[in-house]
Structure 1
């Protein structure tokens, strides 16, 4: 049974159990003895098991890197999550690894960062992992809310919503991580723009790196373990959007225009990147293109490219940039 099939079975089981049983935090105490469930900013009924237990999806700590010129396993159109801080070589985190680990705890130019990817929401985001001057590392809780990964910090085992970078349960409740400028692009484009860059090496774990365990997910009718509203304006729940703050540009609109200059940012689209959530082989996925977002001075702007349902779930009052 593939991971996707196991997820389908888990989805059916969770829905059969009903929300009230899942809403009782006493069910989680044995696994989460250090989590303060008296502090929560969300309804526990919204939190569901994604299937794996705590750390069942193992985060990567202290990843190893190699020069981009020495990497031979990635295909040209495969997506990587790029982080390019000033004063340090750009780093590429291949989605073929993030797909199976979801969090990479790294230190770049002296800054602790958390590199994250939730396949069910297509949210690839990099955060400053320093909280009140203290460096933190994160793990995968195995829990989902609105289909989005819930992370946990290892110091207090508070739960953090990846899509909003906010602690929602535990001692850290209400704290916010700072999202850093990072972007999805093809491996070919990373190599062209950062010939002296570094790429994360393959983890030493028994995974089928390069394969997509969620084949055909982004052309499904409905997202898994999501019970919320569909997006407005007739936008398909699994359509990609470019999110900047609380605004969302439909990717189809940007793709048709090629470039948009609106609301103090500049968005561009160029072909060459495969969808990681389409075909069984990541590098063979259908075209989704390379998106860049900058401010009007050309500096990278914080953004991500979630599915439309995820933007609507976490930014219900958000603005849809439809071009009227």
Structure 2
């Protein structure tokens, strides 16, 4: 844990003793955010992770290239996959998301936000439309339950990445629509989608793409900057779980079974994806495997392979799908 913290603080400029933020202080940086409207019960739930607003820069309107032309990505490196019917499948490499956390894109006329929170291993795709408005998201630099707090540039409201819910400002209580997206090994994506597209390396940023600035994090005993309860049933806090709605299956259970059918869903696992949060080089991370979740008609279902502590923090009454 000590080695991880040192690497993380140096790599990202985080503050190990980050103080709980105060709306009085925030107002100077966020003059257009209405802090009188909020779903937060106690402001101490929110911590400053270190980087300021946009200190972790989101990507807008990314460039893509044919998957067949990409040669920089290791076969087992994870990519976030988005497959919208009638559109060419797209892959968003975690080697970029780990440094930028949000990609604002548009696919088939649908404005989307592809998000990845490294501290929770949470990868979720959102529809950026709220009513007649289209939002553009950035990174606040704040954390709640160790999870990224996003903001939209149109109203400067704050949003919880793991849940897609507005938590501060005019959009408080609004919930973004989640779209089916999933983490998958690069080689697996290419084999399924030989004519697919992959997000090109961002330009203009001084980032060591392909390196993991959170080396050894998912082997840590405790989450970084987390003050909440540990998960029940003796499940390690940084064990991965497959979240579908308010249910969670331990990844260890799924990987042992290969396939689980329950609650009208089929969850499957196969080898071929490295952990992005293990080795200093993402492609050398230990095997965590590819997970897919489908309904009874074979359609992809919204899910998230996140850390157990984060599931318990945001779904404290959630159902743990464990062997009887």
TM-score (norm 1): 0.96
Q: Where does 1:10-159 land on structure 2 (aligned, <5 Å)?
A: 10-14=14-18, 17=19, 19=20, 22=21, 24-42=22-40, 43-159=42-158
Q: Distance in 2 between matches of 1:173 and 1:208?
A: 36
- The residue number in structure 2 matching 1:321 is 321
Aligned residues: 318
**Do the aligned residues in 1 keep the contact of 2:160 with 2:166 (CA within 8 Å)?**
yes
Structure 1 residues 2, 59: CA separation in 2 closer, same or farther (over 3 Å shift)? farther
Q: Distance in 1 between matches of 2:202 and 2:16?
A: 32
Deviation at 1:5, TM superposition (A): 2.5
Q: Distance in 1 between matches of 2:11 and 2:24?
A: 24
Structure 1 residues 264, 118: CA separation in 2 closer, same or farther (over 3 Å shift)? same
Residue by residue, what CA displacement relative to the aligned partner does 1:204-241 show, whole Å, maximum 9, x if unpaired?
A: 02100000000000000100010101000000000000
Deviation at 1:13, TM superposition (A): 2.5
Q: Distance in 2 between matches of 1:10 and 1:99?
A: 14
TM-score (norm 2): 0.96
Residue by residue, what CA displacement relative to the aligned partner does 1:119-162 show, whole Å, maximum 9, x if unpaired?
A: 00000000000001211110000000000000000001000000
1:248 aligns with 2:248: yes
Q: Distance in 2 between matches of 1:33 and 1:177?
A: 24
- The residue number in structure 2 matching 1:262 is 262
Q: Distance in 2 between matches of 1:110 and 1:44?
A: 38
Cα RMSD between the aligned structures? 1.4
What are structure 2's unaligned runs of at least 5 residues? none
2:17 partner SS: helix
2:125 partner SS: strand
- The residue number in structure 2 matching 1:282 is 282
- The residue number in structure 1 matching 2:308 is 308
Structure 1 residues 100, 8: CA separation in 2 closer, same or farther (over 3 Å shift)? closer
Deviation at 1:309, TM superposition (A): 0.1
